[in-house]
Amino acid sequence: MTTDVLERPMIQTHALTKRYGAVHAVQGVDLQVNSGDIYGFLGANGSGKTTTVRMLLGLVLATSGQIELLGEPMPRRRRHVLPRVGTLVEGPAAYGHLSGRANLTMLDAAGPGGSRRTRRRRVEEVLEEVGLATVGRRPVKHYSLGMRQRLGLANALLRAPELLVLDEPTNGLDPQGIREIRELLLKLHAGGTTVFLSSHLLAEVEQLCTRVGVLDRGRLVVQDSMAAMTSFTGRVLVHTPDAAWAVTVLQAEPGVVVHERVADEHDECLLVAHPSAEELNATLVRAGVRVRELRPERRSLEQTVLAATEAHGAREQQGGVR
């Protein structure tokens, strides 16, 4: 498979904007989600995430800007595009008096592109995938919130979509349920499905996603690969019971700076500016310093997100963002 195919945009927006009167819910957003991404769309509640997702799917019309899904303009080509997109937005709706299985059967029959002959098999397969196979006959009114989320995800999977657009898919799930949904999304991704995941759960996105965009007060403040957003800081964490001797050794090394020294229960942790963890380890060991643990420091996704949103907030206060 060529690089061009791998990087084919599945979602692309240009200057996407939505206003409600004088309120800018979304402002000038340029999204790019490529084929093969698990894209995490992050933002606090009220940041404009759900409005953006609804515009992508043609559920809300943009005030201005352009949207393409699967290379097609939206919403003009929605009848051609949406059958190839699985969606779970703002919580699933279902008939409470019917079973999960019956709800999925009705939804499958109502939509285009689903063969009647294979309907029963498809319904059973997606119920199994989302962990509802044993409760498929129970009325939905007796489902927990987490079970309703699973049912909504099952509906999104009925057509084996090329693109999966999910808005807070783990809402209401316990830790075990969250892990199961994560494993399911990774399995779907391995099978060729591109995933666009709107969430406010930083830890979940960090474990799952390959690319991230962050929305703050309607603006996209950062968009990059997960690798870039959690890159090395150029500093190394060193745990040693010989901290004083380690500092003495390192102060004799040109260009090496010890930024921090923190005691814990067993030894001390030094934060050292050094370009190579391997060379730093060799220097300390040669000098007789006992190294209990040594590892390069990485930025966390939380640190990157907070830095981007704080910088955006500061620019707004200074009048630099309009």
pLDDT, tens digit, for every residue of 238-257? 999 999 999 999 999 988 98
Domain boundary among 229, 260, 287: 229
| Any domain includes 171 | yes
Q: Which of 174, 170, 157, 190 is nearest to 40 (CA)?
A: 170
Residue 321 has pLDDT above 70, yes or no: no
Q: ∠ CA 142-143-147 to the nearest 5 degrees?
A: 175
Q: Are residues 129 and 243 in the same domain?
A: no
What is the predicted pLDDT for the residue at 315? Answer: 84
pLDDT bracket for residue 7 (50, 70, 90): low
Q: Are residues 42 and 159 in the same domain?
A: yes
What is the predicted pLDDT for the residue at 35? Answer: 95
Q: Are residues 169 and 259 in the same domain?
A: no
Distances (CA, A) of 168 to 165, 171, 243: 10, 6, 45
| Any domain includes 322 | no
Crossing angle (nearest 10°) for helices 175-190 and 145-157? 10
Q: Is there a cis peptide before residue 139, judged by omega within 30 degrees of 0?
A: no
Helix (H, G, I), strand (E, B) or coil at 13: strand
Q: Are residues 174 and 35 in the same domain?
A: yes
| Count of domains forming the chain | 2
Query: What is the C-alpha separation between 271 and 37, in angstroms, rounded?
Result: 34
Q: Are residues 44 and 181 in the same domain?
A: yes
DSSP 196-257: EEEES-HHHHHHH-SEEEEEETTEEEEEEEHHHHT-EEEEEEEEES-HHHHHHHHHTSTT-E
What is the predicted pLDDT for the residue at 241? Answer: 92
What is the predicted pLDDT for the residue at 240? Answer: 93
Which residue in this structure is represented by tokens 């800007």? Answer: 65
What is the predicted pLDDT for the residue at 320? Answer: 55
pLDDT bracket for residue 146 (50, 70, 90): confident
Q: Are residues 21 and 108 in the same domain?
A: yes
What is the predicted pLDDT for the residue at 1? Answer: 39
- pLDDT digit string, tens, across residues 207-217: 999 999 999 99
* CATH number of the domain within which 83 lies: 3.40.50.300
The whole-number average pLDDT for the span 7-24 is 92
Rg (CA), the chain: 24
Q: Are residues 175 and 263 in the same domain?
A: no
DSSP H or E segment with residue 260: strand 257-263
Average model confidence (pLDDT) across the chain? 89
| Any domain includes 260 | yes
Residue 238, φ and ψ in degrees, nearest 5:
-125, 120
| Any domain includes 318 | no
Domain boundary among 201, 229, 257: 229
Q: Are residues 218 and 280 in the same domain?
A: no
| Any domain includes 109 | yes
The whole-number average pLDDT for the span 292-314 is 89
* CATH number of the domain within which 265 lies: 3.30.70
The whole-number average pLDDT for the span 299-322 is 82
Q: Are residues 198 and 155 in the same domain?
A: yes
Q: Which amino acid, residue 186? A: L
Distances (CA, A) of 59 to 51, 75, 87, 180: 9, 9, 12, 29
Domain boundary among 187, 210, 229: 229
| Any domain includes 304 | no
**Helix, strand, coil distribution of the chain in percent, nearest 5:** 40, 30, 35
| Any domain includes 305 | no
Q: Are 87 and 58 in contact (CB under 8 A)?
A: no
Domain residue limits at 126: 3-229
Q: Are residues 224 and 262 in the same domain?
A: no
Q: Which of 294, 282, 275, 284 is nearest to 245 (CA)?
A: 284
The whole-number average pLDDT for the span 214-227 is 95
DSSP assignment letter at 49: H
| Any domain includes 177 | yes
